[in-house]
Amino acid sequence: MIYPFIAVVKKEIGSVLRDRTIVISILIQLFIASFSSGLLLGMLSLYDADTIMRFSGEGIRVGVVGKADDPLASLLTERGLNIQTFPTLIEAQSAFYSGEVLALVDAPQNADGLIEVKLYLPDSDTISSLIRMVIQEPLKQYENYLRAERGIEVRYTDLNGKPATSFEFVYSVLIPMLMFFPAFVAGSMSIDMITEEVENKTLQTLLSAPLTVSGMIGAKITSAVTLAIVQCAVWLTLLQMNGIDIQNKAWILLLALVVAGITSTSASITAAFLQDRERSQFIFSLLLLAGVSIGTMLNLSPITTISRLAVGDAYTSGWHVMVFAAFFSVLYFLLLRTARRLMH
């Protein structure tokens, strides 16, 4: 019984390795990972005020009409912008046209109880959007100052902290993506392996070996999950080598394994019901999407669990992984009951 099982596992893994399709899968993951972090890097350098200030704050010269100790001017200086003050708008303008300053802020005027500030930006999309990014924070602070003058206190304004985008990206997008994409592939692969046997009419031949239907499907799932888990282990090592600190590695790997098991099992159930690739893959993708949304809605998402395990959250432990393992065993039991359909 165990020998044919191992034979099927070996055959499936062998075929994936021989056909080099696994290379494509790894390439996809590498691509998504580098693409998304490339995108993040690009977005940060263009659309994140802190990053812009760090790299080109000194170069952003803004002309302010009014006195240097005006609240608005001092807030702009505090932001790290290079401020020059001018007594009149006309002088400020000539500084703009001679290229001394890149943008102008006209002195605040009182108009019907509202304070009006005029901002003059160059007609170049790149520079003007850059200036609008960095000037946003001082303008908001100035707004709070005006509110305070009217007796309105805005709370929690002294919060600061460090820009968290990269940290949030790595732990809530990159790590879950690298750990669960192989699971998604494992599900698709299970459908391919099963429907291929049905459509090529090789299922009966395979079953003439001393192997039951559920044994055969189990072997196929095992091979898909094995490939997934090897990829996850490699990604974890690579992330570690890149200096990303990951806690609870063993639990993370176990969770990745359980999730790969869940996707392959539900994919196999779909394949057992529909028996052709086209429909099975379609329904499987929809099921997966629905599963992820329902999981998130019930506050029981493997994505959140893996992020928390990776940052070393004090309230997340192996027990959370066990919940998914229990769900996996229920699904597997369901598969055992439905696998027989393939015989018809």
Q: Which residues from 233-262 bind another protein, rule CB under 8 A?
A: none
Q: Specify the DSSP element, H or E, that contains 332.
A: helix 318-338
CA distance 16 to 8: 13
- Per-residue x/- track, 19-38, another protein (CB under 8 A): xxxx-xx-xx--xxxxx-xx
- Per-residue x/- track, 56-95, another protein (CB under 8 A): ----------------------------------x--x--
Q: Where are the alpha helices (DSSP H) in 161-301?
A: 165-169, 175-199, 203-207, 213-241, 249-274, 277-297
Nearer to another protein, 128 or 226 (CB): 128
> Of these, 6, 10, 17, 42, which contacts another protein (CB under 8 A)?
42
User: Phi, psi (5° rounding) for residue 83?
Assistant: -105, 135
> Of these, 55, 78, 199, 210, which contacts another protein (CB under 8 A)?
199
Exposure string over 271-302, b if 16+ CB within 10 A, otherwise e: bbebbebeebbebbeebbeeeeeebeeeeebb
Per CB under 8 A, contacts with another protein among 122-181 are: 122-123, 125-126, 128-129, 132-133, 136, 139-140, 142-143, 146-147, 149-150, 152, 154-157, 159-165, 167-169, 171-173
Cα 83 from chain centroid?
38
Site size toward another protein, by CB under 8 A? 107
Q: Nearest approach, Cβ of 309 to another protein (angstroms)?
A: 11
> Of these, 8, 178, 183, 188, which contacts another protein (CB under 8 A)?
188
> Of these, 79, 220, 308, 320, which contacts another protein (CB under 8 A)?
308
Instruction: Judge whether 8 and 220 are in contact, CB under 8 Å.
Output: yes
